[in-house]
Amino acid sequence: MRERWYIPMMKSTESAGERRRAPSAFDQRLAARREELEGLYLGLYQDGGAAFEQFLEMLRGAWKARKRPLRDMDKRREADPDWYRRRDLLGMMLYVDAFAGTLNGVVEKLPYLRECGVNYLHLMPLLESPKGRGDGGYAVSSFRTVQPELGTMEDLEALADGCRRGGVKLCLDFVMNHTSEEHEWAKRARAGEKAYQDRYFFYESREIPDQFEETVPQVFPTTAPGNFTELPDGKIVMTTFYPYQWDLNYANPAVFQDMTENLLFLANRGVDVIRLDAIPYIWKQLGTACRNLPQVHALTRMLRIACEVVCPGALLLGEVVMEPVKVAPYFGTTQRPECHLLYNVTTMATTWHTLATGDTALLRRQTEAMCGLPKDFVFLNYLRCHDDIGWGLDYPWLCQHFGVDEVGHKRYLNDWFTGKWQGSRSRGELYNDDPRLGDARLCGTTASLCGVESAETENDPFWMERAISLDLTLHAWMLSQSGIPVIYSGDEVGQLNDYTYHDDPDRQADSRYLHRGRFQWDLAALRGDPETRQGKLFQGLRRLLSLRAKEPCFDACAEVRAEDSGNSHVLAISRRQDGRELLCLYNFAPEFETAWPHRMGGYTELMYGTRYEALDQVELYPYGFAWLLKDTEK
């Protein structure tokens, strides 16, 4: 009898036990990746066996802390790995304080973002960072605290929840190359604690720093020369960016573990896209340029695995502002992917070069290079962002084909965009002018660089029309590139440069504040009036966006080709999808230009509805464009 009683008991205990033993989603994901992760980890941290076990425990803890709605989202996205590869994402990047004052203010402004069609929101750095020594939030003093003026971590989480419910993906920066000098670790290092000094590159004398300086270029040669900073007590610390941004030493496994934990903490707040700030710089080695070293790729791959195990719904966006060949490797390989997303920085810089030269050859070549990349690489396309425009162009090719000299060409571009060149209406300012290398970069908003500002101040309606046309053409070009378009906040209503930073002692040395001005809600309020320049731009952009959303040729998997337009001022791109063909023409000259696409069959221009029975020649408005859709056979 007793046994009889026991049998069902045993059975039920067994099945509960089995249920308990069933591997968790975390265990399953880890099991599939553990061997590779361990290999990479021990490759960087020899004798790191025990540290590796701790690392795994940290990952498990982060997974346990991940809340239900995020885990559900992870599952949905795991089942649909192409969720971010479609053409349904439109991004905007903005500063919380400039746009809405606080995080709660952003919640109130979500209807405006919806009106813009935005469903990917990049909030510029908002973690605690010392005023005046914060590099616009890129010197973080606490990775777990929101900058008090902007709100709290709870506000951030509430905003993330609201975004998730409203279908908006949230992107935040993860500033991982360095901490602020005011971060707890830096303070303890300064106080003499060896374990914290070892988290940075801390030296007693200039001997090793001087060896580094022989091979490491400078990021901010004017505003922050050199790569090291001497502290008041004579110690020397590595500071690749500003002197108050202390470089972290990722050769120390404690740094990697704690920073990965910080990254996962952000993901667990509900952040969808984590922007890996300055990722190429995170590994330093004597005798090298300390950029893009193989160890950087090993670390990025480990971060990717950490996310795939803990928060597979989150994406990594690499900030790789490097010469063209150095960028794509940050996607990794099909077998060993690294970042999900990268900025299309070369196309951005080449676009501005094309405007200043009026010659589309390099942009065509760059487009061909992009077309040659695997279609599952997703780029963020943009015209302007919070940073300067660096002239990272393909100089060897320009030199070979046009005899272009790099220094002279940069000077020309900078003169053009600062309005010094005759015929230029652009109003930019230089950034980090390095007279030795002639390497200045450039700042300014899209509208000011396009000539809207000068047309307005000079009250020149003729030029205003051209400038607006140019601004829309550049946006149309951005929207016709495969990937995720990202608008820089204010550009949708043609916001101009903000010169008030010249009077702010905390900002005046950094001309990037020229294009980081307050969002001007009073001017944005004019967006509904088609007679205003704000209205022309806003409504033009909305029309472009709705055309893009409807037309399958804009799909990421469309076949894209750079075409011969028969006119060096006109860039021609074709996109083919589902038996449809779209030909996009962009005129980079301030005069009427004719393109010669020589195509049979009827076409309709999507923006204005113009009909062409055959596309032999197409006349384009000064700085104008045409999106020509071929008639489909019925």
Q: How far is the CB of 440 from ligand GLC (least distance, A)?
A: 16
Contact 416, 424 (CB under 8 A): yes
User: Which of 134/494 has CB closer to ligand GLC?
Assistant: 134
Q: Whose structure tokens read 């829309």?
A: 472
Name residues whose C-beta falls within 8 Å of residue 554's C-beta, 6 or more positions apart in sequence. 87, 479, 480, 548, 575, 577, 582
319 annotated active-site: yes
Tell which residue, 515, 542, 258, has the closest CA to residue 388.
Answer: 515
The residue among 29 and 122 lying less far from ligand GLC, judged by its C-beta, is: 122
Residue in the shown chain whose Cβ atom is closest to ligand GLC: 138
Residues 6 or more apart in contact with residue 165 via CB below 8 angstroms:
none
The span from the CA of 585 to the CA of 565, in Å, is: 8
The least CB distance from residue 108 to ligand GLC, in Å, is 27
Q: What residues from 304 to 323 belong to the interface with ligand GLC (CB under 6 A)?
A: 319
Residues 152, 153, 158, 159, CA torsion sign: positive
Report helix, strand or coil for 237. strand
Q: Which is nearer to ligand GLC, 299 or 398 (CB)?
A: 299
Instruction: Tell me how far, at minimum, the Cβ of 278 lies from ligand GLC, in Å.
Output: 4
Nearer to ligand GLC, 319 or 394 (CB): 319
Pairing mode of beta strands 91-94, 120-123:
parallel
Tell me whether residue 62 or residue 124 sits nearer to ligand GLC (CB atom): 124
**Minimum gap (Å) between residue 97 Cβ and ligand GLC:** 15
Q: Please tell me whether residue 387 binds ligand GLC under the rule CB under 6 A.
A: yes
Q: Within positions 270 to 289, which residues make up the interface with ligand GLC, using CB under 6 A?
A: 277-278
What binding mask, one character per residue, do residues 422-461 give for ligand GLC by CB under 6 A, x or -? ----------------------------------------
What are the start-end ranges of the E strands in 150-211? Answer: 169-175, 178-180, 202-203
CA dihedral 623, 627, 630, 634 (to 10 degrees): -150
- Where in 88-147 is the site for ligand GLC (CB under 6 A)? 135-136, 138
CB of 171 to ligand GLC, least distance (A): 13
The tokens for 495 are 């916001």
The answer to whether residue 277 is catalytic is: yes
In whole angstroms, how close is the CB of 277 to ligand GLC at the nearest point?
A: 5
Supply the minimum distance, in Å, between the C-beta of residue 249 and ligand GLC: 16
Catalytic residue among 277, 308, 429, 555: 277
CA distances from 425 to 113, 359, 453, 455, 511 (A): 30, 18, 8, 8, 19
How many residues bind ligand GLC (CB under 6 A)? The answer is 10
Largest Cα separation within the chain, whole Å, is: 104
Catalytic residue among 128, 308, 319, 510: 319
Site for ligand GLC in 329-368 (CB under 6 A): none
Supply the minimum distance, in Å, between the C-beta of residue 392 and ligand GLC: 13
Which 162-221 positions form the footprint of ligand GLC (CB under 6 A)?
175
β-pair partners for 202: 237
501 contacts ligand GLC (rule: CB under 6 A): no
Question: What's the N-to-C CA distance of the chain in angstroms?
Answer: 80
Give the residue with the Cβ less far from ligand GLC, 341 or 476: 341
Closer of 172 and 589 to ligand GLC (Cβ):
172
Q: How far apart are CA 575 and CA 598, in angstroms?
A: 16
Nearer to ligand GLC, 428 or 540 (CB): 428
Q: Show the CA angle centred on residue 343, arms to residues 308 and 330, nearest 5°.
A: 50
Name residues contacting ligand GLC, limited to 213-252 (CB under 6 A): 241
- Looking up tokens 């089995």, which residue turns up? 18
66-to-74, 269, 312, 314, 408 alpha-carbon distances in Å: 10, 8, 11, 12, 53
Q: How many CA atoms lie within 13 A of 569 on its CB side?
A: 18
Residues of this chain that interact with ligand GLC (CB under 6 A) are: 135-136, 138, 175, 241, 277-278, 319, 386-387
Q: Which residues have a catalytic role annotated?
A: 277, 319
